[in-house]
Chain A
């Protein structure tokens, strides 16, 4: 028996909007730790890792570890039917091939339930090794989203270079080139507007903008994004989900042949 009650149901709506275009089908894993997902896109270039900790739910009952295969497009369709202020409860019985989403309006005057078919998904669970990153950039998520969108109108790839001076996002395309430098500024009034760079050595990596733009669909989940970069390692683009956990995107770099 599984029963997860999330008072801030909009979080789950936002999570699905953030990942449904990257991954078609995925297993949601439910354990005492929380509700999690790890899935790669079909070309094995990007991976999304989601964790919503059990403590973040108002009610969290998961009698035994359960893996539920869901089509994320269909799940997003169902969650779109929940109001932004609704409380969302996920329910599944042991051995059932369906999951039920229950939506309650804040005033309890409208209660809906949507039952979705589960699917069997063969997915490989990857071990993500702990890594020491050469550079960690923390910046406003809206700024990062704007940069990725702007650069993708010029080129297909972005070179992210971190030095003591700041973080540089560069692209080139048929019409020309673009460079955007964000300097460290931790003296702003609001912490969510700061750009903070921790660097042990300079790093420069090239990534496909198509994926970066897809990751920025998680912007509504957090005002801050963290980019963790090391030479020859996938970048980690992390959006923390307040009080609950995180959504992390891993993207393999482009490599000179």
Chain B
């Protein structure tokens, strides 16, 4: 089954 990704890799912390 597909695995749930997280948002951290899309949005950079600042």
Contact = CB atoms under 8 A, between A and B. Distances in A.
B6 to A, nearest CB: 4
A125 B6 contact: no
B13 to A, nearest CB: 5
Interface stretch (A25-33, A39-47, A111-119, A220-228): A39-47
Contact of A254 (B3, B7, B14): B3
Interface residues of B, number: 13
Nearest to B6: A44
Interface in B1-14: 1-8, 10-14
A253 B5 contact: yes
Chain A interface, DSSP helix/strand/loop, else mixed = loop
Chain B interface, DSSP helix/strand/loop, else mixed = loop
A40 B3 contact: no
B6 A127 contact: no
A124 B7 CA distance: 12
Contacts of A46: 7
A43 B4 CA distance: 10
A233 B4 contact: no
Interface of A: 40, 43-47, 124-129, 157, 206, 208, 233-234, 250, 252-257
A257 B2 CA distance: 6
Contact of A126 (B3, B4, B7): B7
A128 B2 contact: no
22 contacts: A40-B7, A44-B6, A44-B7, A44-B8, A45-B6, A125-B13, A125-B14, A126-B7, A126-B12, A126-B13, A127-B12, A127-B14, A128-B11, A129-B10, A129-B12, A206-B2, A208-B4, A233-B10, A250-B10, A254-B5, A255-B3, A256-B2
